[in-house]
Chains A and B, each alone.
Chain A
């Protein structure tokens, strides 16, 4: 709607590219955020206030080949989740373009889309319908999903009776069951108990190995260094560095430490205890 930026540029897509973004930008219009009431937006129309906008992402160019695993890191509010939402097709770019080659499955926030009143089984069927899967396909996948989630008799109980770990497990097995070409994961490696964490790690590694592209948002730097073959550091909606995971992670750690030191110095200058001012 607010696409007044540069038009779509020329695409240079290689054969093996799963994801190509060019000059990608996503702009939020803060007039309509959750807290805005009709009164305020009316006042703004009447008073002709300039619209408040901000770029959650800007000038992001990323290329990801099939078989690659990209770790997206950065501080809170850097635009990591927005990037995943654009890649999943949930948001449209405000400027630039996104090209996706293959089926996408997203696990953005685990289990947030479940209907609390329905059972696990019904949620799987409903979820399949939301994803646009054929009913026959969903029903074929059903036993595998139930088995992998390992939630026993709870599969026929309403989701509201589930523990958060069970919810996460069910969400994970739904998203990975559809055998996507491109898997988008947002902070999923830290959910569930230790056993399931190992299991999900193994599954993600398996997916990466079987020539699937994975984009993973995480704060777990060890995972990025160990299992991703590329990493990108986002800050304030812009790419700071893209490259080998260890380099990107090192830069992120350095910058975080520098930011912290600067904040502490400022607090010390103001005469506050740095331990409080964190």
Chain B
């Protein structure tokens, strides 16, 4: 609106635009406000580092501590002996922490800017985009402890690690779709923030993070008897992502196969689906956007 106004006449009438117009509008807004996204990301970085004693060091320590907890926990309760288990789960913990942070922060992305939204007209779509991008920095920091950990498993260091950015890019696209959706939904349903924490935890345990997906039908009787469970489990985006990360970082799920390329077909399908989800989430977001200032 401000953009239009600066070039002359702007006219706001009641009624809503069609989905395609909304999509085109949102893409234009996101592209023209890249600098705003950059500023928001920089502001976020600054705040995160400033209020804890160890600052950004937590981005390195946090995934390592979480890995330690799971290694202790799973070693006690599981019969399966997975070779090099710390690296096996770290390959999943790292991307999961990223996604978890994106969704959690997305829930407050619009709500926390209530003051601004009631004061200035700007495209709100930049907020979930900024949140996702800011958390990507956390993921990149997490690669430091990953390489630290890999020093203990030198024979698993291969050029396959170069696939990580490709897999992360697919995850980024999926994360953007989630962030846009949750940012809009939480404005209207504030309880979402509470629900999401638990839903994410359930999703993590249902995803092959602590175990490999092809161990599912060997280890779990219910899955062995009901083949469809395995099929459904494979449709989980994080089954695709975790398996891809694990392939390039750790290798085959038997622990003996050295690192191998990810399954590009499933990644490509996930990418296409994610792009579709972004479109869907954006339409939801744009439909809700005019109401933000009234509800906040």
Contacts and interface: CB of A to CB of B under 8 A. Distances in A.
Same assembly: yes
Interface string A151-162: 000000000000
A113 B12 contact: no
A86 B43 CA distance: 29
A104 B10 CA distance: 10
Interface stretch (A30-38, A222-230, A251-259, A268-276): A30-38
A92 B12 contact: yes
B295 A33 contact: yes
Interface in A121-140: 122, 125-127, 129-132, 135
B36 A130 contact: yes
Contacts of A75: none
B224 to A, nearest CB: 38
B8 A113 contact: no
B137 interface: no
A113 B9 contact: no
Contacts of B119: 88, 90, 106, 108-109, 112-113
Interface stretch (B93-101, B185-193, B226-234, B276-284): B185-193
B221 interface: no
A91 B13 CA distance: 11
B262 to A, nearest CB: 37
Nearest to B189: A38
A99 interface: yes
A32 B6 contact: no
Q: Interface of chain B, helix or strand or loop or mixed?
A: helix
Nearest to A92: B290
B295 A89 contact: no
Interface string B162-194: 000000000000000000000000011111100
Nearest to B121: A89
Contact of A34 (B9, B15, B191, B295): B295
Interface stretch (B83-91, B110-118, B142-150, B206-214): B110-118
B152 interface: no
Interface in B35-73: 35-36, 39-40, 43, 46-47, 50
B14 interface: yes
Nearest to B113: A113
Given A5-B14, A118-B43, A132-B122, A91 B290 contact: yes
Nearest to A82: B294
Interface residues of A, number: 55
B192 A38 contact: yes
B3 interface: yes
Contact of A3 (B16, B43, B50, B192): B16
Contacts of B118: 85, 90, 108-109, 112
Contacts of B46: 117-118
A168 interface: no
B50 A117 contact: yes
A100 B10 contact: yes
A28 B292 CA distance: 11
Given A32-B295, A132-B2, A38 B191 contact: yes
Contacts of B47: 117
Given A92-B12, A97-B11, A85 B293 contact: yes
B109 to A, nearest CB: 14
A97 B12 contact: yes
Interface string B126-162: 0000000000000000000000000000000000000
Interface string A90-107: 111111111111111010
Contacts of B202: none
Contact of B13 (A8, A38, A125, A129): A8
Nearest to B288: A1
Contact of B8 (A5, A95, A101): A101
27 contacts: A3-B16, A7-B14, A7-B15, A8-B13, A34-B295, A38-B192, A41-B188, A88-B119, A88-B120, A89-B12, A90-B118, A91-B290, A92-B12, A93-B12, A96-B14, A100-B11, A103-B6, A104-B1, A106-B120, A106-B121, A113-B119, A118-B43, A118-B46, A122-B43, A129-B36, A130-B120, A131-B120
Given A99-B10, A109-B118, A122-B43, 17 more contacts: A5-B14, A25-B14, A29-B294, A89-B10, A92-B14, A93-B12, A95-B14, A97-B11, A97-B12, A98-B12, A102-B8, A103-B6, A104-B1, A113-B119, A118-B43, A126-B39, A132-B32
